[in-house]
Amino acid sequence: MFAFAKAATAQQDPQYSQYMYNPVVINPAYAGNRGVASIVGLHRSQWVGLEGAPRTQTLSFHTPILNSRVGLGVSIVNDALGPTDETYATADFSYTLPMSYNSNLSFGIKGGVRTLNIDFDQLNARDQNDDLLRNLDNDIAPQVGVGAYYHTDKFYVGLSTPNLLQTDHYDPENRNGTTTFIARERIHYFAAAGYVFDLNDNVKFKPSTLIKAVAGTPLQVDVTANFLFSERLTLGAAYRVSAAVTGLVGFQVNDQMLIGFAYDRETTELGNSVYNDGSYELFLRFELFKSYDKVVTPRFF
């Protein structure tokens, strides 16, 4: 114990099971790519029953700019975990290049701020006067992200990083030059892809995947299989490699409103805990258009 020491690292960005419905949170190139103004809200409660478990809320708005190749968007994300509470407020800009009659390539940039609060008073610290347990109040850091997104009527693929800046929330200079305790925002890389297969006139098969990579942690891979019935009801399942299985359901209430729900169950030892009732995720998308100017061909991603 006295001879060896090792830094602890973990993934920090919020986790989503319904990533396919709101890519703009992680990829600014998606802004405006639905062809209409889109408002998206999501709430996720992870590991329900465990004290201090993650809770995430997102609210996004993005839209194409009329008669241009530009898309704009804004997103607010609140992510709470134990004594920490982090809020992201960002703006998105995208520019789309037509590649063929039915394919487009978009590039995007995301800019904004992250605000971090840490309240160590919530912890049962053995030594409440420990200088390392110093609260953070509204610690602000800039955020800059980039992304690329390619899609046709049936296929999409995206690459992105929501934040290129690696921020240290604790300054070693304030601790007599030591690096004993540093909270560091690391760069997260995302890759997403999906395809829509027409099984018959009433059923579509929509497989998709999301891959997340960050230094110091294992690669995270989500594989999802959704079935869309009569362009209204979506039923599906997903597997997060070495982490969880997920059930998904969605319902297109009308041309403008989509509601989705997901339930995760851990496949790790954490899933066997009597204090863990799984993770719940509720999603709502509302799109702003009139009946005469809506997109003729529905977008299924």
Q: Three-state SS string across 33-101, please?
A: CCCCEEEEEEEEECCCCCCCCCEEEEEEEEEECCCCCEEEEEEEEEEEECCEEEEEEEEEEEEEEEEEC
pLDDT at 11: 47
What does the pLDDT average to over 1-19?
Answer: 62
Q: Is the pLDDT of residue 174 over 60?
A: no
What value does the mean pLDDT of the chain take? Answer: 86
DSSP 98-162: EEETTEEEEEEEEEEEEEEEE-GGGS--S-TT-TT---EEEEEEEEEEEEEEEE-SSEEEEEEES
Task: Write out the H or E segment, with its range, that includes residue 262.
Answer: strand 257-266
Q: What topology is assigned to 19-121+135-168+185-288 in CATH?
A: Porin (2.40.160)
Nearest CA to 59 out of 118, 93, 14 is that of: 14
Q: Is the pLDDT of residue 118 over 90?
A: no
Task: Write out the H or E segment, with its range, that includes residue 30.
Answer: none
Q: Is the pLDDT of residue 205 over 50?
A: yes
What does the pLDDT average to over 223-227?
Answer: 97
> Percent of the chain scored above 90 by pLDDT?
62
> Percent of the chain scored above 70 by pLDDT?
85
pLDDT-based confidence at 296, cuts 50/70/90?
A: very low
Q: What three-state secondary structure class fits 28?
A: helix
Q: Is the pLDDT of residue 7 over 90?
A: no
Return the residue matching tokens 């809770």. Answer: 55
What does the pLDDT average to over 176-196?
Answer: 76
pLDDT at 130: 67
pLDDT at 178: 53
DSSP-derived letter for residue 185 is: P
What does the pLDDT average to over 220-239?
Answer: 96
Cα 44 to Cα 26: distance, rounded to the nearest angstrom: 16
Cα 16 to Cα 24: distance, rounded to the nearest angstrom: 12
**What tokens appear for 235 in the block?**
């039923």
Cα 126 to the center of its chain, rounded Å: 35
Q: Is the pLDDT of residue 142 over 90?
A: yes
Q: How many CB atoms lie within 10 A of CB 170?
A: 18
Q: Is the pLDDT of residue 60 over 70?
A: yes
**What tokens appear for 88 in the block?**
């992201």
Cα 277 to Cα 260: distance, rounded to the nearest angstrom: 19
DSSP-derived letter for residue 230 is: T
**What tokens appear for 264 in the block?**
């995760």
Greater pLDDT, 296 or 64: 64
Greater pLDDT, 168 or 5: 168
What does the pLDDT average to over 237-250?
Answer: 96
Residue 177, judged by CB atoms within 10 A of its CB (0-12, 13-18, 19+), counts as exposed
**What tokens appear for 49 in the block?**
């029953």
pTM of the model: 0.86
Beta pairing partners, 86? 79, 116
